Amino acid sequence: MIATTKKPFEHILQMLGDAQSVFVIGCGDCATQCQTGGEVEVEEITRQLEEAGKTVTGGVVPDVTCNVLDTARILRKHKEAVESADALLVLSCGTGVQSVAESQEDKRVYPGLDSLFSAITRRKGQIYERCICCSDCVVGDYAGVCPIARCPKGQLHGPCGGYDDGKCEVDREQDCVWTLILQRAEKTGQMDAVMAALGAEPAKNHQVNKHPAELVFEPRKGGKL
C-alpha cells in the first residue's frame, strides 16, 4: 500500500484559489486504510470546504482510485456534479490524483494528500515503510530485509560507524537494520549468503529506476484489470 498523510487545509485552500465549486474524490483502498481518504475523510473535507465558503457539488470514493478506467466510469455516474465543479480535489496518493487528471482532461485536479512511502501494515493504524520501489530488488541477498528502505543512509555493505549497541545513530530508538538482517539470517540459515553479499554486492544499479516508467503486458484470459 501507499502511505499518505493529509495536506494542511490552508494549503488546500491556497491550491484551489478562485475555484468556488469543488467535487471531492477519495480512495477506498490505501487512503481509507490510512484514514486520509475514505468516506469519513471525504465528509470531513466537505464540511471544511463549505465552512470556508466553497460549494461542494458532490463526492465519491472509488474502490481503487489509481485504476483510470474504473475511476472514469464512476465519475461518469456523477457527470452533472463533476461538470458543475470548478476543480476536483482528490484524497489519494499521487497516482490516484493523476488517474483522475487523465480521465478528466478539462478539469483542474488537486491533491488533498501527500504520498509518503510504500508500506506494510500490521494492525489498523500501524503502517511501516518497507520498500522504495527502486527497481533493483536486493531483499533476497539480505535474508528478506531491505537495507535500502530501512536504513536512513541506504547502507548496502553493513552498518555505518554510527552503529551503537544495535541501534541507529539517526534514531536511537530504532534498531539498526543490520541488526535485524543478521538476526534473521541466523534464524533462517542464510548467514553465509548474507556475509557473501556484503563482500560482493555491486554498487546499486540506479539506471534501471528510470522515470517515467511503465509496465504494459497482455493480461491472461479471464484476468481482471
**Closest by alpha carbon to 82, among 113, 52, 59?**
59
Low-confidence ranges of the chain (pLDDT < 70): 201-211, 213-215, 217, 222-225
**Closest by alpha carbon to 110, among 98, 123, 122, 102?**
98
pLDDT of residue 155: 85
0.95 surpassed by pTM: no
CA gap 99, 62 in Å, rounded: 12
Domains detected in the chain: 2-116 (3.40.50.2300), 136-203 (no CATH)
The CA distances from residue 68 to 2, 39, 62, 183, in Å, are 17, 20, 11, 43
pLDDT of residue 218: 77
The CA distances from residue 134 to 94, 170, 211, in Å, are 17, 22, 11
pLDDT of residue 215: 65
pLDDT tens, 130-166?
888 888 888 989 999 999 899 998 888 888 888 889 9
Q: Are 219 and 225 in contact (CB under 8 A)?
A: yes
pLDDT of residue 30: 94
